[in-house]
Amino acid sequence: MAMDMAEHKTLGYALRGLQLIFAIIVMGTDGYAIHVFHGRTVYEHFEFGNFYDYYGVPDAWGFLMFCAAWTVLIVIFHFIVGISFADHALIGYVRVAVEAVAVLSWLAGFIAVAVQISTHTCSSGKNSCGSLKAATVFGAFEWLLFMVTAASTVMLVFSSSRKPSVSTTPTTKSGAAV
Protein backbone atom coordinates (compact mmCIF):
# COMPACT_ATOMS: atom_id res chain seq x y z
CA MET A 1 0.00 0.00 0.00
CA ALA A 2 2.80 2.44 0.88
CA MET A 3 4.62 1.69 -2.38
CA ASP A 4 1.40 2.26 -4.30
CA MET A 5 0.94 5.69 -2.69
CA ALA A 6 4.57 6.61 -3.47
CA GLU A 7 4.09 5.64 -7.11
CA HIS A 8 0.92 7.76 -7.35
CA LYS A 9 2.70 10.70 -5.75
CA THR A 10 5.56 10.36 -8.24
CA LEU A 11 3.09 10.15 -11.12
CA GLY A 12 1.29 13.23 -9.78
CA TYR A 13 4.54 15.19 -9.65
CA ALA A 14 5.41 14.06 -13.17
CA LEU A 15 2.00 15.19 -14.49
CA ARG A 16 2.32 18.54 -12.70
CA GLY A 17 5.80 18.93 -14.19
CA LEU A 18 4.42 18.26 -17.68
CA GLN A 19 1.67 20.81 -17.06
CA LEU A 20 4.28 23.37 -16.08
CA ILE A 21 6.46 22.62 -19.13
CA PHE A 22 3.51 22.77 -21.53
CA ALA A 23 2.33 26.04 -19.95
CA ILE A 24 5.77 27.55 -20.52
CA ILE A 25 5.69 26.36 -24.14
CA VAL A 26 2.24 27.88 -24.64
CA MET A 27 3.43 31.14 -23.08
CA GLY A 28 6.38 31.26 -25.44
CA THR A 29 4.56 30.37 -28.64
CA ASP A 30 1.47 32.43 -27.91
CA GLY A 31 3.59 35.34 -26.71
CA TYR A 32 5.57 35.24 -29.94
CA ALA A 33 2.35 35.16 -32.01
CA ILE A 34 1.05 38.17 -30.10
CA HIS A 35 4.37 39.97 -30.53
CA VAL A 36 4.62 39.56 -34.31
CA PHE A 37 0.93 40.18 -34.99
CA HIS A 38 0.42 43.43 -36.82
CA GLY A 39 -2.91 45.11 -36.26
CA ARG A 40 -4.56 46.98 -39.03
CA THR A 41 -6.63 50.08 -39.40
CA VAL A 42 -9.81 49.83 -41.42
CA TYR A 43 -11.88 52.72 -42.73
CA GLU A 44 -15.49 51.98 -41.85
CA HIS A 45 -18.30 53.67 -43.77
CA PHE A 46 -21.72 53.76 -42.16
CA GLU A 47 -24.96 55.52 -42.91
CA PHE A 48 -24.46 57.89 -39.98
CA GLY A 49 -20.77 58.61 -40.42
CA ASN A 50 -17.35 57.28 -41.14
CA PHE A 51 -14.52 56.33 -38.82
CA TYR A 52 -11.24 54.45 -38.64
CA ASP A 53 -11.34 51.23 -36.69
CA TYR A 54 -8.25 49.44 -35.39
CA TYR A 55 -8.19 45.64 -35.26
CA GLY A 56 -5.57 44.43 -32.79
CA VAL A 57 -4.61 41.11 -31.29
CA PRO A 58 -7.63 38.81 -30.91
CA ASP A 59 -8.89 38.31 -27.38
CA ALA A 60 -8.63 34.51 -27.62
CA TRP A 61 -4.85 34.76 -27.90
CA GLY A 62 -4.69 36.74 -24.68
CA PHE A 63 -7.02 34.26 -22.99
CA LEU A 64 -4.70 31.41 -23.93
CA MET A 65 -1.86 33.36 -22.33
CA PHE A 66 -4.02 33.76 -19.20
CA CYS A 67 -4.60 30.00 -19.13
CA ALA A 68 -0.85 29.38 -19.23
CA ALA A 69 -0.19 31.86 -16.42
CA TRP A 70 -3.06 30.38 -14.41
CA THR A 71 -1.51 26.93 -14.85
CA VAL A 72 1.79 28.07 -13.36
CA LEU A 73 -0.11 29.34 -10.31
CA ILE A 74 -2.10 26.09 -10.09
CA VAL A 75 1.03 23.93 -10.15
CA ILE A 76 2.61 26.04 -7.40
CA PHE A 77 -0.65 25.86 -5.39
CA HIS A 78 -0.84 22.06 -5.68
CA PHE A 79 2.81 21.69 -4.73
CA ILE A 80 2.35 23.80 -1.58
CA VAL A 81 -0.98 22.21 -0.67
CA GLY A 82 0.35 18.71 -1.20
CA ILE A 83 3.12 19.31 1.29
CA SER A 84 1.42 21.15 4.11
CA PHE A 85 -2.36 20.79 4.04
CA ALA A 86 -2.95 17.17 3.10
CA ASP A 87 -5.62 16.40 5.71
CA HIS A 88 -7.85 19.48 5.53
CA ALA A 89 -11.26 18.86 3.96
CA LEU A 90 -11.76 22.45 2.80
CA ILE A 91 -8.44 22.45 0.95
CA GLY A 92 -9.53 19.30 -0.86
CA TYR A 93 -12.66 21.01 -2.15
CA VAL A 94 -10.62 24.05 -3.18
CA ARG A 95 -8.30 21.73 -5.12
CA VAL A 96 -11.29 20.23 -6.96
CA ALA A 97 -12.64 23.70 -7.79
CA VAL A 98 -9.25 24.88 -9.05
CA GLU A 99 -8.94 21.80 -11.26
CA ALA A 100 -12.45 22.31 -12.65
CA VAL A 101 -11.71 25.94 -13.52
CA ALA A 102 -8.45 24.91 -15.18
CA VAL A 103 -10.11 22.18 -17.26
CA LEU A 104 -12.82 24.52 -18.49
CA SER A 105 -10.36 27.37 -19.14
CA TRP A 106 -8.05 25.24 -21.25
CA LEU A 107 -10.95 23.77 -23.18
CA ALA A 108 -12.33 27.21 -23.97
CA GLY A 109 -8.89 28.65 -24.65
CA PHE A 110 -7.55 26.18 -27.15
CA ILE A 111 -10.87 25.92 -28.99
CA ALA A 112 -11.19 29.71 -29.27
CA VAL A 113 -7.70 29.99 -30.74
CA ALA A 114 -8.20 26.98 -33.02
CA VAL A 115 -11.31 28.60 -34.49
CA GLN A 116 -9.34 31.73 -35.37
CA ILE A 117 -6.56 29.87 -37.17
CA SER A 118 -8.66 29.45 -40.30
CA THR A 119 -9.88 33.07 -40.37
CA HIS A 120 -8.32 36.16 -41.91
CA THR A 121 -6.63 36.89 -38.58
CA CYS A 122 -4.19 34.08 -39.21
CA SER A 123 -3.70 33.62 -42.91
CA SER A 124 -0.91 31.49 -44.32
CA GLY A 125 1.26 34.49 -45.21
CA LYS A 126 1.63 35.74 -41.64
CA ASN A 127 4.51 34.77 -39.35
CA SER A 128 2.35 34.24 -36.29
CA CYS A 129 0.36 31.31 -37.66
CA GLY A 130 2.93 28.58 -37.08
CA SER A 131 3.53 29.51 -33.47
CA LEU A 132 -0.20 29.95 -32.92
CA LYS A 133 -0.85 26.44 -34.22
CA ALA A 134 1.81 25.12 -31.85
CA ALA A 135 0.22 27.00 -28.95
CA THR A 136 -3.14 25.48 -29.86
CA VAL A 137 -1.76 21.95 -29.98
CA PHE A 138 0.04 22.32 -26.66
CA GLY A 139 -3.11 23.90 -25.23
CA ALA A 140 -5.06 20.80 -26.24
CA PHE A 141 -2.43 18.57 -24.61
CA GLU A 142 -2.60 20.76 -21.52
CA TRP A 143 -6.37 20.27 -21.41
CA LEU A 144 -5.87 16.50 -21.59
CA LEU A 145 -3.34 16.63 -18.77
CA PHE A 146 -5.77 18.62 -16.66
CA MET A 147 -8.51 16.08 -17.38
CA VAL A 148 -6.26 13.37 -15.95
CA THR A 149 -5.20 15.36 -12.90
CA ALA A 150 -8.75 16.60 -12.29
CA ALA A 151 -10.08 13.05 -12.33
CA SER A 152 -7.40 11.88 -9.91
CA THR A 153 -7.97 14.89 -7.64
CA VAL A 154 -11.72 14.30 -7.55
CA MET A 155 -11.22 10.62 -6.78
CA LEU A 156 -8.67 11.44 -4.07
CA VAL A 157 -10.81 14.09 -2.37
CA PHE A 158 -14.17 12.33 -2.52
CA SER A 159 -12.98 8.81 -1.76
CA SER A 160 -10.76 9.68 1.18
CA SER A 161 -12.01 8.36 4.47
CA ARG A 162 -12.45 11.41 6.63
CA LYS A 163 -14.01 10.62 9.96
CA PRO A 164 -16.91 12.81 11.02
CA SER A 165 -16.37 14.70 14.23
CA VAL A 166 -18.01 13.09 17.24
CA SER A 167 -20.12 15.18 19.58
CA THR A 168 -18.84 15.38 23.16
CA THR A 169 -22.21 16.44 24.58
CA PRO A 170 -23.55 13.76 26.93
CA THR A 171 -26.97 12.43 25.94
CA THR A 172 -29.75 10.74 27.87
CA LYS A 173 -31.36 7.44 26.92
CA SER A 174 -33.99 9.25 24.84
CA GLY A 175 -31.25 10.92 22.73
CA ALA A 176 -31.80 14.45 24.03
CA ALA A 177 -28.81 16.49 25.19
CA VAL A 178 -28.44 17.02 28.93
- The burial of 78, by beta-carbon neighbours within 10 Å (0-12 exposed, 13-18 middle, 19 or more buried), is given as buried
Q: Say whether pLDDT at 41 is over 60.
A: yes
Q: Say whether pLDDT at 3 is over 80.
A: no
* pLDDT for res 94: 86
pTM: 0.77
Q: How many CA atoms lie within 13 A of 161 on its CB side?
A: 0
Contact (Cβ atoms closer than 8 angstroms) between residue 1 and residue 103? no
Contact (Cβ atoms closer than 8 angstroms) between residue 34 and residue 72? no
| DSSP 8-state class, residue 175 | S
- Tell me the pLDDT band of 87, cut-offs 50, 70 and 90: low
* pLDDT for res 4: 46
* pLDDT for res 2: 40
| DSSP 8-state class, residue 46 | E
May I ask the CATH architecture of the domain 12-159? Up-down Bundle (1.20)
- Tell me the pLDDT band of 10, cut-offs 50, 70 and 90: confident
Q: Which of 149, 136, 133, 150 is nearest to 64 (CA)?
A: 136
* pLDDT tens sequence across 93-109: 888 899 999 999 999 99
**Type of residue at 150:** A
| DSSP 8-state class, residue 164 | P
Residues paired with residue 50 on neighbouring β-strands, in sequence order: 45
Q: Which of 27, 20, 21 is nearest to 76 (CA)?
A: 20
What is the distance, to the nearest Å, from the Cα of residue 28 to the centroid of all Cα atoms in its chain? 16
Averaged pLDDT, 73-84: 81
